[in-house]
Chains A and B, each alone.
Chain A
Amino acid sequence: MDLPYKSEILKLFKEDREMWEYDAVAKLMDKNRISSDYWKWNARFWLMELSVAGFLVAVDTAEDDGAHFSKGKVLSKYKLTERGLQTIETMLED
Protein backbone atom coordinates (compact mmCIF):
# COMPACT_ATOMS: atom_id res chain seq x y z
CA MET A 1 0.00 0.00 0.00
CA ASP A 2 1.18 3.54 -0.71
CA LEU A 3 2.67 5.66 2.01
CA PRO A 4 0.55 8.48 3.46
CA TYR A 5 0.78 11.62 1.33
CA LYS A 6 2.83 13.52 3.87
CA SER A 7 5.53 10.83 3.81
CA GLU A 8 5.45 10.76 0.04
CA ILE A 9 6.01 14.46 -0.29
CA LEU A 10 8.98 14.23 2.06
CA LYS A 11 10.39 11.34 0.05
CA LEU A 12 10.26 13.44 -3.11
CA PHE A 13 13.07 15.49 -1.61
CA LYS A 14 15.42 12.54 -1.64
CA GLU A 15 15.72 12.69 -5.41
CA ASP A 16 15.42 16.46 -5.75
CA ARG A 17 17.11 17.85 -2.68
CA GLU A 18 15.87 21.38 -3.20
CA MET A 19 12.44 22.29 -4.50
CA TRP A 20 10.05 25.16 -4.47
CA GLU A 21 6.97 24.19 -2.49
CA TYR A 22 4.66 24.48 -5.48
CA ASP A 23 6.87 22.10 -7.45
CA ALA A 24 6.86 19.54 -4.66
CA VAL A 25 3.09 19.84 -4.30
CA ALA A 26 2.57 19.51 -8.05
CA LYS A 27 4.78 16.42 -8.19
CA LEU A 28 2.87 14.80 -5.33
CA MET A 29 -0.46 15.47 -6.91
CA ASP A 30 0.67 14.23 -10.32
CA LYS A 31 2.10 11.05 -8.88
CA ASN A 32 -1.07 10.27 -6.97
CA ARG A 33 -3.49 11.58 -9.53
CA ILE A 34 -5.21 14.00 -7.19
CA SER A 35 -6.14 17.46 -8.22
CA SER A 36 -8.40 19.18 -5.69
CA ASP A 37 -7.58 22.46 -4.00
CA TYR A 38 -8.20 20.77 -0.69
CA TRP A 39 -5.22 18.42 -1.12
CA LYS A 40 -3.10 21.20 -2.60
CA TRP A 41 -3.44 23.29 0.55
CA ASN A 42 -3.04 20.25 2.78
CA ALA A 43 0.20 19.41 0.99
CA ARG A 44 1.47 22.94 1.44
CA PHE A 45 0.62 22.68 5.13
CA TRP A 46 2.48 19.37 5.44
CA LEU A 47 5.59 20.97 3.96
CA MET A 48 5.37 23.63 6.63
CA GLU A 49 4.95 20.97 9.34
CA LEU A 50 7.95 19.09 7.93
CA SER A 51 10.07 22.21 8.15
CA VAL A 52 8.91 22.87 11.75
CA ALA A 53 9.99 19.32 12.56
CA GLY A 54 13.42 20.06 11.15
CA PHE A 55 13.23 17.74 8.13
CA LEU A 56 13.19 20.54 5.59
CA VAL A 57 14.68 23.98 5.76
CA ALA A 58 13.57 27.01 3.80
CA VAL A 59 16.48 28.32 1.78
CA ASP A 60 14.68 30.92 -0.29
CA THR A 61 11.38 32.71 -0.37
CA ALA A 62 9.23 34.47 -2.90
CA GLU A 63 5.90 36.14 -2.97
CA ASP A 64 3.02 34.36 -4.63
CA ASP A 65 1.46 36.44 -7.37
CA GLY A 66 -1.57 34.17 -7.34
CA ALA A 67 -0.26 31.66 -9.85
CA HIS A 68 0.44 28.96 -7.31
CA PHE A 69 -1.58 29.17 -4.11
CA SER A 70 -2.97 32.61 -3.55
CA LYS A 71 -1.79 36.16 -3.92
CA GLY A 72 0.38 37.42 -1.11
CA LYS A 73 1.29 34.04 0.28
CA VAL A 74 4.93 33.33 1.00
CA LEU A 75 6.42 30.69 -1.27
CA SER A 76 9.32 28.78 0.20
CA LYS A 77 12.08 26.83 -1.44
CA TYR A 78 12.77 23.84 0.74
CA LYS A 79 15.91 21.81 1.11
CA LEU A 80 16.12 18.39 2.70
CA THR A 81 18.09 18.34 5.95
CA GLU A 82 20.25 15.59 7.41
CA ARG A 83 17.50 14.77 9.84
CA GLY A 84 14.99 14.65 7.02
CA LEU A 85 17.15 12.25 5.07
CA GLN A 86 17.60 10.07 8.15
CA THR A 87 13.86 9.95 8.67
CA ILE A 88 13.26 8.92 5.07
CA GLU A 89 15.85 6.19 5.28
CA THR A 90 14.76 4.78 8.63
CA MET A 91 11.01 5.13 8.43
CA LEU A 92 9.93 5.46 4.85
CA GLU A 93 12.01 2.97 2.93
CA ASP A 94 11.96 -0.78 3.18
Chain B
Amino acid sequence: MVANAESIAKEKKNRIKWGFFWAIMCAVLWGMGYVPLTILWGVDPFSNFVWFEGQAGYLVSGVIIAGMQAVVFAVVLLLFWAGLTGKFVESIKTFVHFKISKWLLVAALFGGPCAVFGSTIAIGYIGAGFASAIGLLSAVVGALVAKLLYSERFSKKTVAGILLLLAGGFIILNPLDMINNITNPAAPDGVWLGYLGGIMSAVGWGLEGCYAVRALDTTDADSSLPVRYTWEALIWVAILFPVVAIIAGFGNFYEALFAALTSSSFMFWMVMAAFTLGMCYATMYKCYPLIGVGRTLSLTAMYSPIAIIVLFVFFGVVPAYWIFVGAIVAVAGMFVMYWESDSISDTTREEV
Protein backbone atom coordinates (compact mmCIF):
# COMPACT_ATOMS: atom_id res chain seq x y z
CA MET B 1 0.00 0.00 0.00
CA VAL B 2 1.59 3.24 -1.07
CA ALA B 3 1.81 5.78 1.71
CA ASN B 4 -0.47 8.69 1.17
CA ALA B 5 0.71 12.27 0.97
CA GLU B 6 -0.82 12.98 4.34
CA SER B 7 1.30 10.43 6.19
CA ILE B 8 4.42 11.70 4.50
CA ALA B 9 3.60 15.30 5.37
CA LYS B 10 2.87 14.22 8.92
CA GLU B 11 6.25 12.57 9.32
CA LYS B 12 8.03 15.58 7.90
CA LYS B 13 6.12 17.86 10.27
CA ASN B 14 7.09 15.55 13.09
CA ARG B 15 10.75 15.78 12.17
CA ILE B 16 10.53 19.58 12.02
CA LYS B 17 8.66 19.64 15.32
CA TRP B 18 11.43 17.67 17.03
CA GLY B 19 14.03 19.94 15.43
CA PHE B 20 12.30 22.98 16.91
CA PHE B 21 11.90 21.26 20.28
CA TRP B 22 15.60 20.45 20.58
CA ALA B 23 16.49 23.96 19.45
CA ILE B 24 14.33 25.60 22.13
CA MET B 25 15.71 23.22 24.79
CA CYS B 26 19.16 24.26 23.64
CA ALA B 27 18.31 27.95 23.94
CA VAL B 28 17.00 27.50 27.50
CA LEU B 29 20.00 25.47 28.67
CA TRP B 30 22.46 27.80 26.97
CA GLY B 31 20.86 30.90 28.48
CA MET B 32 20.87 29.32 31.93
CA GLY B 33 24.51 28.35 31.43
CA TYR B 34 25.56 31.99 31.76
CA VAL B 35 24.78 31.79 35.48
CA PRO B 36 27.48 29.25 36.37
CA LEU B 37 29.82 30.84 33.83
CA THR B 38 29.51 34.18 35.58
CA ILE B 39 29.85 32.67 39.04
CA LEU B 40 33.08 30.93 38.03
CA TRP B 41 34.77 34.30 37.74
CA GLY B 42 33.66 35.19 41.25
CA VAL B 43 34.66 32.14 43.27
CA ASP B 44 37.93 30.83 44.57
CA PRO B 45 40.52 31.15 43.13
CA PHE B 46 39.45 33.70 40.56
CA SER B 47 37.82 36.05 43.02
CA ASN B 48 41.24 36.74 44.40
CA PHE B 49 43.70 35.94 41.67
CA VAL B 50 47.08 36.25 43.30
CA TRP B 51 49.25 34.68 40.62
CA PHE B 52 48.92 37.29 37.90
CA GLU B 53 47.69 40.81 37.91
CA GLY B 54 45.69 43.04 35.62
CA GLN B 55 45.43 41.99 32.01
CA ALA B 56 47.63 38.93 32.34
CA GLY B 57 45.49 37.87 35.24
CA TYR B 58 42.31 38.06 33.21
CA LEU B 59 43.80 36.18 30.29
CA VAL B 60 45.27 33.37 32.33
CA SER B 61 42.00 33.06 34.23
CA GLY B 62 40.20 32.85 30.89
CA VAL B 63 42.53 30.10 29.69
CA ILE B 64 42.11 28.04 32.84
CA ILE B 65 38.33 28.46 32.92
CA ALA B 66 37.86 27.64 29.23
CA GLY B 67 40.29 24.72 29.37
CA MET B 68 38.77 23.22 32.50
CA GLN B 69 35.36 23.66 30.92
CA ALA B 70 36.40 21.39 28.06
CA VAL B 71 37.78 18.73 30.37
CA VAL B 72 34.80 18.68 32.72
CA PHE B 73 32.30 18.79 29.85
CA ALA B 74 34.07 15.91 28.11
CA VAL B 75 33.91 13.76 31.22
CA VAL B 76 30.33 14.66 32.13
CA LEU B 77 29.03 14.28 28.58
CA LEU B 78 30.83 11.02 27.97
CA LEU B 79 29.68 9.39 31.16
CA PHE B 80 26.33 11.03 31.58
CA TRP B 81 25.00 11.68 28.09
CA ALA B 82 26.69 8.97 26.05
CA GLY B 83 26.22 6.57 28.92
CA LEU B 84 22.55 7.42 29.34
CA THR B 85 21.79 7.00 25.64
CA GLY B 86 23.73 3.74 25.48
CA LYS B 87 26.14 5.19 22.98
CA PHE B 88 29.37 5.04 24.90
CA VAL B 89 30.82 2.50 22.48
CA GLU B 90 29.54 4.51 19.52
CA SER B 91 31.50 7.48 20.86
CA ILE B 92 34.68 5.43 21.02
CA LYS B 93 34.11 4.16 17.47
CA THR B 94 33.59 7.74 16.30
CA PHE B 95 36.76 8.94 17.99
CA VAL B 96 38.90 6.16 16.63
CA HIS B 97 37.96 6.60 12.98
CA PHE B 98 40.00 9.64 12.12
CA LYS B 99 38.31 10.33 8.80
CA ILE B 100 35.15 11.06 10.76
CA SER B 101 36.77 12.26 13.94
CA LYS B 102 38.95 14.91 12.28
CA TRP B 103 35.87 17.04 11.55
CA LEU B 104 35.07 17.09 15.24
CA LEU B 105 38.66 18.10 15.89
CA VAL B 106 38.24 21.07 13.55
CA ALA B 107 34.89 21.88 15.15
CA ALA B 108 36.55 21.71 18.57
CA LEU B 109 39.28 24.12 17.47
CA PHE B 110 36.72 26.70 16.42
CA GLY B 111 34.26 26.01 19.18
CA GLY B 112 36.75 25.88 22.01
CA PRO B 113 39.88 27.99 21.84
CA CYS B 114 38.14 30.38 19.48
CA ALA B 115 34.52 30.67 20.58
CA VAL B 116 34.41 29.57 24.20
CA PHE B 117 37.65 31.31 25.08
CA GLY B 118 36.50 34.43 23.24
CA SER B 119 33.21 34.36 25.11
CA THR B 120 34.95 33.73 28.42
CA ILE B 121 37.17 36.75 27.87
CA ALA B 122 34.17 38.84 26.89
CA ILE B 123 32.39 37.80 30.11
CA GLY B 124 35.44 38.61 32.19
CA TYR B 125 36.26 41.96 30.62
CA ILE B 126 32.82 43.30 29.76
CA GLY B 127 30.01 41.13 31.05
CA ALA B 128 27.84 38.13 30.40
CA GLY B 129 25.05 40.18 28.89
CA PHE B 130 27.35 41.52 26.20
CA ALA B 131 29.02 38.15 25.63
CA SER B 132 25.72 36.39 25.15
CA ALA B 133 24.40 39.04 22.79
CA ILE B 134 27.47 39.25 20.56
CA GLY B 135 27.52 35.47 20.15
CA LEU B 136 24.33 35.91 18.13
CA LEU B 137 26.40 37.06 15.20
CA SER B 138 27.54 33.45 14.90
CA ALA B 139 24.36 32.88 12.94
CA VAL B 140 25.57 35.24 10.22
CA VAL B 141 28.94 33.52 10.07
CA GLY B 142 27.31 30.10 10.13
CA ALA B 143 24.83 30.95 7.41
CA LEU B 144 27.46 32.44 5.08
CA VAL B 145 29.95 29.63 5.52
CA ALA B 146 27.22 26.98 5.20
CA LYS B 147 26.20 28.62 1.94
CA LEU B 148 29.78 28.48 0.67
CA LEU B 149 30.52 24.95 1.79
CA TYR B 150 27.23 23.15 1.33
CA SER B 151 25.12 25.45 -0.79
CA GLU B 152 22.60 25.60 2.03
CA ARG B 153 19.56 27.28 0.60
CA PHE B 154 19.23 31.07 0.84
CA SER B 155 16.29 33.26 0.02
CA LYS B 156 15.31 36.94 0.05
CA LYS B 157 14.08 36.48 3.59
CA THR B 158 17.51 35.15 4.51
CA VAL B 159 19.21 38.27 3.21
CA ALA B 160 16.73 40.50 5.04
CA GLY B 161 17.29 38.49 8.17
CA ILE B 162 21.05 38.75 7.91
CA LEU B 163 20.79 42.53 7.57
CA LEU B 164 18.59 42.71 10.67
CA LEU B 165 21.06 40.49 12.50
CA LEU B 166 23.94 42.73 11.57
CA ALA B 167 21.92 45.75 12.69
CA GLY B 168 21.31 44.02 16.00
CA GLY B 169 25.02 43.25 16.30
CA PHE B 170 25.86 46.84 15.58
CA ILE B 171 23.51 48.03 18.33
CA ILE B 172 24.96 45.52 20.80
CA LEU B 173 28.49 46.66 20.14
CA ASN B 174 27.32 50.25 20.42
CA PRO B 175 30.31 51.76 18.63
CA LEU B 176 30.21 55.11 20.39
CA ASP B 177 30.20 53.52 23.79
CA MET B 178 32.79 50.99 22.65
CA ILE B 179 35.23 53.67 21.50
CA ASN B 180 34.59 55.46 24.75
CA ASN B 181 35.36 52.35 26.74
CA ILE B 182 38.53 51.61 24.88
CA THR B 183 39.94 55.11 24.98
CA ASN B 184 38.82 56.01 28.49
CA PRO B 185 41.90 56.01 30.72
CA ALA B 186 39.83 54.96 33.73
CA ALA B 187 38.59 51.77 32.05
CA PRO B 188 40.16 48.43 33.02
CA ASP B 189 43.25 47.64 31.07
CA GLY B 190 42.73 45.97 27.74
CA VAL B 191 38.94 46.16 27.64
CA TRP B 192 39.29 46.00 23.86
CA LEU B 193 40.14 42.34 24.41
CA GLY B 194 36.59 41.84 25.60
CA TYR B 195 35.29 43.10 22.27
CA LEU B 196 37.77 40.97 20.39
CA GLY B 197 36.64 37.99 22.45
CA GLY B 198 33.07 38.68 21.46
CA ILE B 199 33.96 38.65 17.76
CA MET B 200 35.98 35.47 18.24
CA SER B 201 32.97 33.79 19.78
CA ALA B 202 30.76 34.75 16.84
CA VAL B 203 33.27 33.46 14.28
CA GLY B 204 34.11 30.35 16.28
CA TRP B 205 30.55 29.17 16.89
CA GLY B 206 29.51 29.86 13.32
CA LEU B 207 32.37 27.84 11.90
CA GLU B 208 32.07 25.07 14.48
CA GLY B 209 28.61 24.10 13.29
CA CYS B 210 29.68 24.00 9.66
CA TYR B 211 32.44 21.52 10.38
CA ALA B 212 30.65 19.46 13.00
CA VAL B 213 27.95 18.53 10.47
CA ARG B 214 30.54 16.72 8.36
CA ALA B 215 31.00 14.28 11.22
CA LEU B 216 27.31 14.28 12.10
CA ASP B 217 26.63 13.14 8.53
CA THR B 218 28.17 9.79 9.29
CA THR B 219 27.74 9.31 12.98
CA ASP B 220 25.16 9.79 15.67
CA ALA B 221 24.74 13.17 17.39
CA ASP B 222 24.85 11.71 20.89
CA SER B 223 28.15 10.01 20.10
CA SER B 224 29.72 12.99 18.34
CA LEU B 225 29.46 15.41 21.16
CA PRO B 226 31.71 13.70 23.73
CA VAL B 227 34.24 13.22 20.94
CA ARG B 228 34.21 16.92 20.08
CA TYR B 229 34.77 17.80 23.73
CA THR B 230 37.47 15.19 24.18
CA TRP B 231 39.38 16.76 21.29
CA GLU B 232 38.94 20.17 22.82
CA ALA B 233 40.13 18.96 26.21
CA LEU B 234 43.21 17.44 24.57
CA ILE B 235 43.93 20.67 22.68
CA TRP B 236 43.84 22.68 25.91
CA VAL B 237 45.71 20.29 28.17
CA ALA B 238 48.33 19.03 25.74
CA ILE B 239 48.97 22.18 23.72
CA LEU B 240 47.51 25.42 25.00
CA PHE B 241 48.11 25.02 28.72
CA PRO B 242 51.85 24.37 28.26
CA VAL B 243 52.15 27.23 25.75
CA VAL B 244 50.45 29.71 28.07
CA ALA B 245 52.43 28.37 31.00
CA ILE B 246 55.68 28.99 29.18
CA ILE B 247 54.63 32.53 28.28
CA ALA B 248 53.13 33.45 31.63
CA GLY B 249 55.47 31.62 33.95
CA PHE B 250 55.40 27.89 34.42
CA GLY B 251 55.22 27.61 38.17
CA ASN B 252 52.64 30.33 38.59
CA PHE B 253 50.38 28.96 35.88
CA TYR B 254 50.26 25.44 37.21
CA GLU B 255 49.83 26.69 40.76
CA ALA B 256 46.81 28.67 39.62
CA LEU B 257 45.47 25.64 37.75
CA PHE B 258 45.93 23.46 40.82
CA ALA B 259 44.12 26.02 42.95
CA ALA B 260 41.19 25.89 40.54
CA LEU B 261 41.15 22.08 40.51
CA THR B 262 41.12 21.93 44.28
CA SER B 263 38.55 24.64 44.79
CA SER B 264 35.31 22.84 45.55
CA SER B 265 33.14 25.83 44.67
CA PHE B 266 34.90 26.19 41.32
CA MET B 267 34.50 22.52 40.48
CA PHE B 268 30.88 22.55 41.61
CA TRP B 269 29.97 25.45 39.35
CA MET B 270 31.95 23.92 36.50
CA VAL B 271 29.85 20.77 36.76
CA MET B 272 26.73 22.95 36.83
CA ALA B 273 28.01 24.59 33.66
CA ALA B 274 28.44 21.13 32.14
CA PHE B 275 24.83 20.27 32.88
CA THR B 276 23.58 23.50 31.33
CA LEU B 277 25.95 24.69 28.62
CA GLY B 278 27.32 21.22 27.94
CA MET B 279 23.90 19.66 27.67
CA CYS B 280 22.74 22.49 25.41
CA TYR B 281 25.36 21.30 22.94
CA ALA B 282 23.85 17.82 23.03
CA THR B 283 20.48 19.22 22.02
CA MET B 284 22.06 21.45 19.39
CA TYR B 285 23.89 18.59 17.71
CA LYS B 286 20.62 16.65 17.57
CA CYS B 287 19.14 19.62 15.77
CA TYR B 288 21.65 20.13 12.97
CA PRO B 289 20.71 17.04 10.95
CA LEU B 290 17.00 17.69 11.44
CA ILE B 291 16.69 21.31 10.36
CA GLY B 292 20.15 22.42 9.26
CA VAL B 293 22.88 24.57 10.82
CA GLY B 294 21.43 27.96 9.86
CA ARG B 295 17.95 27.28 11.20
CA THR B 296 19.32 25.71 14.35
CA LEU B 297 21.47 28.73 15.11
CA SER B 298 18.53 31.02 14.47
CA LEU B 299 16.20 29.27 16.89
CA THR B 300 18.84 28.83 19.52
CA ALA B 301 19.34 32.60 19.29
CA MET B 302 16.66 32.78 21.94
CA TYR B 303 19.48 31.92 24.34
CA SER B 304 20.48 35.56 24.43
CA PRO B 305 17.27 37.13 25.75
CA ILE B 306 16.93 34.11 28.06
CA ALA B 307 20.46 34.70 29.36
CA ILE B 308 19.70 38.35 29.97
CA ILE B 309 16.52 37.48 31.87
CA VAL B 310 18.22 34.74 33.87
CA LEU B 311 21.13 37.03 34.77
CA PHE B 312 18.61 39.55 36.01
CA VAL B 313 16.70 36.98 38.06
CA PHE B 314 19.81 35.45 39.66
CA PHE B 315 22.06 38.46 40.01
CA GLY B 316 19.80 41.45 39.61
CA VAL B 317 22.04 42.51 36.73
CA VAL B 318 20.31 44.89 34.37
CA PRO B 319 22.29 45.07 31.16
CA ALA B 320 22.78 48.33 29.36
CA TYR B 321 19.57 48.98 27.47
CA TRP B 322 21.24 48.80 24.09
CA ILE B 323 22.35 45.24 24.70
CA PHE B 324 18.77 44.24 25.26
CA VAL B 325 17.53 46.19 22.24
CA GLY B 326 20.30 44.84 20.03
CA ALA B 327 19.58 41.28 21.13
CA ILE B 328 15.89 41.64 20.32
CA VAL B 329 16.70 43.05 16.86
CA ALA B 330 19.19 40.25 16.17
CA VAL B 331 16.75 37.56 17.29
CA ALA B 332 14.05 39.11 15.11
CA GLY B 333 16.54 38.99 12.22
CA MET B 334 17.03 35.29 12.75
CA PHE B 335 13.35 34.58 12.78
CA VAL B 336 12.90 36.50 9.55
CA MET B 337 15.77 34.53 8.09
CA TYR B 338 14.38 31.16 8.81
CA TRP B 339 10.71 31.31 9.64
CA GLU B 340 9.57 29.47 6.57
CA SER B 341 8.84 26.10 8.11
CA ASP B 342 6.21 25.32 5.50
CA SER B 343 8.76 25.56 2.77
CA ILE B 344 11.38 23.50 4.56
CA SER B 345 12.22 21.03 1.88
CA ASP B 346 13.26 17.46 2.16
CA THR B 347 16.95 18.11 2.27
CA THR B 348 18.84 20.96 3.83
CA ARG B 349 21.31 21.08 0.97
CA GLU B 350 21.08 21.70 -2.75
CA GLU B 351 20.49 18.70 -4.98
CA VAL B 352 23.74 17.48 -6.46
Residues of chain A touching chain B, judged by Cβ–Cβ distance below 8 Å, are 1-7, 10, 38, 42, 46, 48-55, 58, 60-63, 65, 72-75, 81-83, 87, 90-92
Contacts and interface: CB of A to CB of B under 8 A. Distances in A.
Contacts of B352: 54, 81-83
Given A5-B90, A65-B1, A87-B218, A52 B346 contact: yes
Given A4-B93, A52-B348, A74-B8, A63 B223 contact: no
Nearest to B348: A52
A23 B149 CA distance: 33
Given A1-B92, A61-B3, A87-B217, A53 B349 contact: yes
Contacts of A6: 218-220
B348 A90 contact: no
Interface stretch (B24-32, B53-61, B96-104, B169-177): B96-104
A7 B219 contact: yes
Nearest to A81: B352
Contact of A54 (B8, B11, B100, B351): B351
A51 B347 contact: yes
Contacts of B47: none
Nearest to A36: B86
Nearest to A10: B218
Contacts of B230: none
A21 to B, nearest CB: 12
B48 interface: no
Interface in B324-352: 346-349, 351-352
Interface string B10-39: 110001000000000000000000000000
A87 B352 CA distance: 13
Contact of A63 (B1, B86, B94, B216): B1
A5 B217 contact: no
B289 A4 contact: no
B347 A48 contact: no
B99 A91 contact: yes
A62 B97 contact: no
Contacts of A91: 99-100, 218
A4 B86 contact: no
B4 interface: yes
B122 interface: no
Interface string B158-187: 000000000000000000000000000000
B218 A62 contact: no
Interface in B209-233: 213, 216-220, 223
A73 B97 contact: no
Contacts of A55: 217
A60 B3 CA distance: 9
B96 A1 contact: yes
Given A52-B289, A53-B217, A53-B347, A4 B8 contact: no
A74 B14 CA distance: 12
Contacts of B8: 61, 74
B97 A1 contact: yes
Contact of A4 (B10, B220, B346): B220
A49 B290 contact: yes
A61 B217 CA distance: 23
A62 B2 contact: yes
Contact of B7 (A42, A53, A74, A90): A74
A90 B218 CA distance: 12
A53 B348 CA distance: 7
Contacts of B346: 51-52, 58
A28 to B, nearest CB: 13
Contact of A7 (B1, B100, B348): B100
A65 B1 CA distance: 9
Nearest to B98: A91
A75 B218 contact: no
Contacts of B1: 62-63, 65
